[in-house]
Amino acid sequence: MTGRTHRRGRWSVLAAAAFTLAGTLTACSSSPDEVGSDAKQTIRFVWWGNEDRAAATEKVVKRFEEEHPNIKVQTEFSGYPAYVQKLTTQIAGGNAPDLLQLDRPTFGEYQQKRQLAELTPYVGKTLKTDGISDSLLAGGEADGKQFAMPAGLTTQLFVYDKDLYKKAGVTVPESGWTWKQFATDMAKVQAESGRAGTTDFGWAIDWFESWLHQNGKQLYTSDRKLGFTEGDLEKYWSMLASMRKQKGVTAAEDTTKMDGSAQNSALVAKQSGSEIAYDSSVTSYVSTYQGKLGYAPLPSDSKTESGMAALPPVYYGIAKTSSHKDAAALLLDFILNDPEAGKVLGTTRGTPPNSEVAASVCASATGADKDTCDFQSKVKDKLSPSDTWLWPSGSSAVKTDFQRVYDDVIFGKSSVSAGATKVVENAKQSLGQ
């Protein structure tokens, strides 16, 4: 769910190592002979996500194959950790899929290690971008060239059990809480219901990034360096330690299971009454949670910065070594711009990136899709542009380490101060500072 995302899952040491190996090998590789899009061929398309995303994507692929009978699409999806580990291994072995799903850390890694095909030659031809905003397209750009396409538009949100909060006597402020008010109300939910007011959000660097923006900082600077200090992280984690002491957030044994998936969500398991997430996860929450859900902006002490941005939930890229780039670009354009494909995909990757398709989808949306559309409409004036939310090469390792260290903190193996220092030291090393 944290695409995100937000961290989509707990990364393994092997996956992080595979990034380095893949970068070494593919930077020296050349692309095989190209196969034209008119030829009979099979291409591979891979992504991660929950079952609702997979079912919708498979339907769109089938429609594409019907319109392009010469192209067969082999699909594969999994949870995030397994996806990253397998993909990096395939890239290292010269067997990368043709079309692949990316997030901010994997895009930063793959692009800077020259593992993605440049899409600029397709833009305005096979790939139509006139319906996609420049701010969304910018997330897939590097050095003035397009290397990935946004799969949609998402933003951060607070999702909660409406009935539980009502019974606890907690009213969700229309414009969001201050952090102090939020801590008080989360403890109240626990006292009245026995469930933590919210899932401990200290595990995911995504939510720390939102807090940093609320405080005039950012996770990474424009020159690809660390944008925060040990003191910043110590203050943030200390706030959560206080909430944990009051039982306003989940216990360590529940928090450590979090990996961004619905099946490991503390909210879905009813260990908490709410979670911070991306709105591209609303469809997963609605399909798996037994109860009525509400949605609100993130808590913030700033009157001008919500800590919420208009972000691509994920991107699509084409492998540099693919011999089916033309066909992969055709499929990518179909996913992004075909009106019927947009209706099928709904908001499983946020609202569609094409503004006309998004308007059509939202106009007739029901259920979880309508929830997502309505929320984005409600908070649109709170959203900042995505240009200060980009993640550089090395950020995947930072993301992994962030949760690993937080586990040590919440289980009492490390102090908050020592943990914050360790994160910063390791992050600088991962970023090559």
Give residue 50's pLDDT.
85
Give residue 393's pLDDT.
87
Residue-by-residue DSSP string for 289-324: -SS-EEEEPPP-S-SS--S-B-B-S-EEEEBTT-S-
* Alpha carbons 198 and 219: distance in angstroms, whole number: 23
CB atoms within 10 A of CB 17: 14
Give residue 33's pLDDT.
63
Residue 280 — φ and ψ, nearest 5°?
Answer: -70, -10
Residue type at 372 in one-letter notation: T
Give residue 1's pLDDT.
52
* Helix locations, 100-169, DSSP H: 104-112, 134-138, 162-167
Give residue 88's pLDDT.
87
How far is CA 348 from its chain centroid?
Answer: 12
Give residue 11's pLDDT.
32
CA 112-118-124 angle, to 5 degrees, is 140
> Hey, which residues does 101 pair with through a beta bridge?
316
**DSSP state at residue 195:** S
Task: Please name which of 386, 402, 302, 404 lies closest in space to residue 350, comparing C-alpha atoms.
Answer: 386
User: End-to-end alpha-carbon separation of the chain, Å?
Assistant: 30
Per-residue pLDDT of the chain (433 residues; tens, 9 = 90+): 553 333 333 333 334 444 444 444 343 334 446 788 889 999 999 999 888 999 999 999 999 999 999 999 999 999 888 898 899 899 888 899 999 999 998 998 899 889 999 999 999 999 999 999 998 998 899 889 999 999 999 999 999 999 999 999 999 998 899 999 999 999 999 999 999 999 999 999 999 999 999 999 999 998 989 999 999 999 999 999 999 999 999 999 999 999 888 889 999 999 999 999 999 999 999 999 999 999 999 999 999 999 999 999 999 999 999 999 999 999 999 999 999 999 999 999 999 999 999 999 999 999 999 999 999 999 999 999 888 998 998 998 999 999 999 999 999 999 999 999 999 999 999 999 8
| Cα separations in angstroms, 78 against 50, 82, 173, 425 | 8, 7, 37, 32
pTM of the full structure: 0.87
Contacts for 373-377 with beta carbons within 8 Å, 24 or more apart? 373/347, 375/157, 375/279, 375/282, 375/295, 376/153, 376/155, 376/279, 376/351
Give residue 3's pLDDT.
39
* Helix locations, 28-79, DSSP H: 51-67
CA 262-267-273 angle, to 5 degrees, is 160
In sequence order, the 6+-apart residues with CB closer than 8 A to the CB of 143 are: none
| Cα separations in angstroms, 300 against 175, 182, 303 | 10, 9, 8
Give residue 126's pLDDT.
96
Angle at which helix 395-410 crosses helix 13-26, to 10 degrees, equals 170
Give residue 2's pLDDT.
55
Give residue 8's pLDDT.
35
